[in-house]
Structure 1
Amino acid sequence: MVTAIILILFTTNSALAHPGRTDGSGGHTCRTNCEKWGLDQGEYHYHNGGSTKAPAPAPSKPSSKSSAVLKADKLKPPAKGKLSVYFLNVGQGDATFIKTAAGDDILIDGGKNEAGNIVVNYLKQLGVDDIEVMISTHPDADHVGGLDTVLKSYKVESVYAPKVSHTTDTFKDFLLAVKNEGRTIKEAKANVSLQLKGVTATFVAPVKTYGDDLNEWSAVLHLTYGKNSFLFTGDAEYKSEGDMIGSSQILKADVLKVGHHGSKSSTSTKFLEVVGPKYAVISVGKNSYGHPTKEILNLLKSKKVTTYRTDLNATVTAVSDGKTISFIKVK
């Protein structure tokens, strides 16, 4: 079923690989190294070549009890005639909403499954009636998890994602939601541009293919409005960063959405020097991975980059008039 949906939406060019043994149903319950594979601990997924027999694990969506853990921040509406970028507080995960000065809406990722309703709450607060562009940076659960809920709640004109897949129920939910919306997925890769008024928005990654390393497949978007620029990196790590640098694309940005929640496997010194941001935002929540790491926080400090964190500042909003950028923190 998953394979059929993937082929309808786009043909993948990467073989899937997963840790551990399959069970009698041809699947596996994640116990160790779950984040690497885009899973939550205890999440069930099928392996390549596994049977299609339905498993008997817990449902892919969390219970209402776990959903109650997250609460939406109270946000200020987008400034008219300006670019507003909301780095949404969704706990341990990524979700960014962009309202262009021309009024177009862009959503990059949707946090975990339980964040879907929170993201919809944010969008309603901000007066969103439809979404011009949705971007799934990669199949990890803490990025793609909430997007199916958004797709069920809003008309979405275009959906972009890199040409890589995963066999989790979370990713399957996203694919089904895209199909039910009557859309096909447009490939996000280097040099693909979004056709939006008043901004220049171009993917600068993935530059190459990265096998089963989902983080390196992350779609990275560079957006320019007037003299101001932003770089949204998903979970891109050192390999992808090096390939971006080697591709001679424009990476310079005033604001950097720090890769992989501040993990030390992203944001190399060289990459940070090439991007040269004045500001950085780390999308992160309570976690057991050590995000953000001291190494990255110290690196940003040494480069005199003003840094905001959603775990400390809640939703962080950057507003640009095309010349200067101001920041609004919830706390």
Structure 2
Amino acid sequence: MGERNMIKNQRGKLIWIGAAVLLIAVNLCILTGCKEDKQQYHHQVSVMYINVGKADSILVQVDEKNFLIDAGENDSVPSLFRALQYKEVAKLDGVILTHTHSDHIGGMEALAQRCEIENVYSAEISMNEETGENKIQQVVEQLALPHKKLKAGDQIAITSDVYFEVLGPLQYNDADDNDNSLVLKLSVNGKTFLFTGDMQFAEEETLLKAGADVSADILKVANHGNKDATSVKFAKAVSPEIAVISTDTSVDENSANKKVKAFFSSAKVYVTEDYACGVLIKIDTNGNTEVSDPIIPKLVASLEIQSVSLENQTVTIINNGDEVDLSGYFIFSTKGKEVFCFPEGSRLLRNEKITIACTGKKGDYIWKEEKVWSTKKEDIALLYDSYGNKLSSCVAQ
């Protein structure tokens, strides 16, 4: 009987101890604030700010969807192709051209050769040439691509619950098309991106005066980080954790300006020129951010440009090594910036030669240009593998 009472008393003590522990836990939760389990997201998110020199091109991937914001300059095509190959992009669901300047649209013709492009997007507000023509409209019509014009408040759907939101431009600026740049916001996996094109002080001010919510975790710093863009007021309104500047300071010494970078002293600032392929940012399903510098493979191929004929407008290539799959390989003209992309499935056997000829000439492959190689100034043919590694060069003669 005494033993039973002892067990009963022990059980009673345990109950009281348990209740006391629970009460303490509840009080601590009230005092300190209970932390909920971190929210889980379900999208695969990757954004690469491609190193295209003193130009802009950003690859946004959400799940299976691929969008490119700007296409770089025509001489940055090898760098653009390198990034697309690394990320295994053959189709673009959309190409968004922020404004008409060549360092944002110059790579479009080459891009259309390499990738299937479902839609092109640009701002409804855009500066025309003196002739009344619009450069973006001209490029899109030349390439026969579907084209949608956007205004503030519009959305570009990526998935059923993820989209680009158009914040600007809000009004036409007749002084500089930089200030007619498309400004886009993207919220996904608990993080917010802000893409600003080449927006300068004037457009920044219109957005701030209109009360636009420009706050973001990750900012593409406008206009290559030049001091004519990004005011203290705008930088504070965004208050990013990460700021990315796209530039090559050897070409534009005023870009990635120290004064502008200082506005983001509480953020991590990345400059694309410091990354071989570009600044790659991934957001995982826990909302965590990872920044990396992709390592680009180097393919083994013993290909050589034997000759470039000015008279015949042809390029002859020989394979001095093992059989090569030429899919994604391309030839680039240093003078005219024209690009020829080898079709998928193209192959070159050991010791085999092939000729690439212009339209109207005879060759194994036909370049859809009547004339590529300049007869007035020196022109050099460059041969690249699919990752943008230079394999061979030859002066046209």
TM-score (norm 2): 0.58
Task: Indicate if the aligned counterparts of 2:182 and 2:197 stay in contact, CA closer than 8 A.
Answer: yes
- How many residue pairs get aligned? The number is 248
* 2:279 matched residue in structure 1: 316
How far apart, CA to CA, are the structure 2 residues paired with 1:330 and 1:104? 20
Q: How does 1:124-203 map to 2 (within 5 A)?
A: 124-162=85-123, 163-167=125-129, 175-197=137-159, 198-203=161-166
Between Structure 1 and Structure 2, the one with more strand by share is 2
> Residues 215-267 of structure 1: CA distance to partner in whole angstroms, max 9, x if unpaired?
10011110010310100111001111111122223311100000111111111
Whether 1:206 aligns to 2:206 is: no
Q: 1:105 aligns with which of 47, 62, 66?
A: 66
How far apart, CA to CA, are the structure 2 residues paired with 1:180 and 1:111? 18
Task: Indicate if the aligned counterparts of 2:153 and 2:167 stay in contact, CA closer than 8 A.
Answer: yes
How far apart, CA to CA, are the structure 2 residues paired with 1:325 and 1:295? 26
* 1:219 matched residue in structure 2: 182
Task: Indicate if the aligned counterparts of 1:218 and 1:235 stay in contact, CA closer than 8 A.
Answer: yes
* 2:373 matched residue in structure 1: none
* 1:261 matched residue in structure 2: 224
Between 1 and 2, higher relative CO (CA 8 Å, sep ≥ 6) is seen in 1
CA change 1:219–1:241 in 2 (3 A) is same
> Residues 141-195 of structure 1: CA distance to partner in whole angstroms, max 9, x if unpaired?
1111112211232221121112324449xx9775454224433432233111002
* 1:87 matched residue in structure 2: 49
SS of 1:148's partner is: helix
Q: 2:268 aligns with which of 306, 310, 321?
A: 306
How far apart, CA to CA, are the structure 2 residues paired with 1:288 and 1:177? 26
* 1:45 matched residue in structure 2: none
SS of 1:243's partner is: helix
How far apart, CA to CA, are the structure 2 residues paired with 1:176 and 1:240? 25
* 1:290 matched residue in structure 2: 254
Residues 282-291 or 271-280, more deviating:
282-291
Identity of aligned residues (%): 27
Task: Indicate if the aligned counterparts of 2:241 and 2:268 stay in contact, CA closer than 8 A.
Answer: yes
Whether 1:327 aligns to 2:288 is: no
* 2:242 matched residue in structure 1: 279
How far apart, CA to CA, are the structure 2 residues paired with 1:81 and 1:258? 25
Q: CA RMSD in A?
A: 2.3
1:330 deviates by 4.4
Task: Indicate if the aligned counterparts of 2:122 and 2:148 stay in contact, CA closer than 8 A.
Answer: yes
Task: Indicate if the aligned counterparts of 2:194 and 2:214 stay in contact, CA closer than 8 A.
Answer: yes
SS of 1:291's partner is: coil
Task: Indicate if the aligned counterparts of 1:106 and 1:134 stay in contact, CA closer than 8 A.
Answer: yes
How far apart, CA to CA, are the structure 2 residues paired with 1:114 and 1:122? 15
* 1:64 matched residue in structure 2: none
Task: Indicate if the aligned counterparts of 1:152 and 1:177 stay in contact, CA closer than 8 A.
Answer: no
1:276 deviates by 1.3
Q: Which amino acid aligns with 2:56?
A: D
Task: Indicate if the aligned counterparts of 1:316 and 1:328 stay in contact, CA closer than 8 A.
Answer: yes
Q: Which blocks of at least 5 consecutive residues in structure 2 are unaligned?
A: 1-41, 296-397
How far apart, CA to CA, are the structure 1 residues paired with 2:171 and 2:137? 23
SS of 1:222's partner is: strand
Q: Which amino acid aligns with 2:105?
A: V
Q: Which amino acid aligns with 2:141?
A: K
How far apart, CA to CA, are the structure 1 residues paired with 2:244 and 2:228? 17
SS of 1:107's partner is: strand
Task: Indicate if the aligned counterparts of 2:169 and 2:181 stay in contact, CA closer than 8 A.
Answer: yes
* 2:58 matched residue in structure 1: 96
Task: Indicate if the aligned counterparts of 2:109 and 2:143 stay in contact, CA closer than 8 A.
Answer: no
